[in-house]
Amino acid sequence: MQTTIQTPTHLPQVAHPRNEGMPLDLDWVAAVQANTSAIERRAATLGGRRSVKKDWQAAWLLKAVSLIDLTTLSGDDTWGRVERLCAKARQPVSPWMLEKLGMEGLTVGAVCVYHDMVETAVRALEGTNIPVAAVSTGFPAGLAPFDLRIEEIRRSVAAGAREIDIVISRRHVLTGNWQALYDEMREMRTACGNAHVKAILATGELATLRNVARASLVCMMAGADFIKTSTGKESVNATLPVSLTMIRAIRDYQDRTGVKVGYKPAGGISKAKDALLYLALMKDELGHPWLQPDLFRFGASSLLGDIERQLEHHLTGHYSAANRHPMG
């Protein structure tokens, strides 16, 4: 018997105005606080309060697939691996499962690679609307000379990247030099041209949730289209308390400016149940607009494999081996 899941996961991205930014408001930045204990208590309630089962869970997992930035950022990346990853991006879930679920045209949100692999990914994704995202600006440490970081952005855009994931200088946050962070982010955003820019905060290295909140706000003031938790290379990456802090900064920015900014948790999100928690958090805090690819992405690779396993279990009652769902 066919199980039909009615969900808009395969629809094209919704267009909305880019974040043009605003002048740096240091009074607003200084007023930002973060109640760590309250944030942690709120995050701890999510697992018990939000649970979906059966067809509803399958629908949410299909939604999660459409929000994945399918990523390979390894030192041993090859052109062949990137081409295989792009093939997976085109067909992220086995056709027989999509047929049984009544789905068609499902793809991931983007493919994320190093600058050197941008042209390969662009060629492999020709004929689709899947954007290529490039990690630039001396990823992951962001400590290359500034002119070289700017040049890397320009070259990635010229190679066909439609999204640029930049890394900020953590030292500006740790020393409270918000003007320097704003100026850096502003110049990087300018270098991106028409490409959307995601600002990676590397939250595991920012020491406090207050720093996370203030850095989020400054990057949005400087024109970030997305704010992103991590490079995936830090010892601590995306967490629910950090996510709650960042998305409340997004909500505050929208309340004051009317501009929607996207959110991307990255690093450590490898299980389907984790994806469901993040989706519940986004729906609770920001609402339905932030459940679309233009405003929410998962930075992940192994997450997709676990979602496929859960969907297969939903359809057959059996779990398959993880090696039956390779990424590339």
Distance between CA atoms of 150 and 137, rounded to whole angstroms? Answer: 7
Distance between CA atoms of 323 and 2, rounded to whole angstroms? Answer: 26
CA angle in degrees (0–180, nearest 5) for 4-131-102 = 5
Q: Residue 94 corresponds to which tokens in the numbers above?
A: 């086995």
20 close to 224: Cβ distance less than 8 angstroms = no
Helix (H, G, I), strand (E, B) or coil at 72: coil
Distance between CA atoms of 45 and 63, rounded to whole angstroms? Answer: 22
Q: Which helix (H) or strand (E) is 197 found in, with range?
A: strand 196-200
Distance between CA atoms of 223 and 239, rounded to whole angstroms? Answer: 24
Closest among 83, 106, 109 to 94, alpha carbons compared: 106
| Beta-sheet pairing, 132-135 with 262-264 | unpaired
Which positions are catalytic? 165, 228, 264
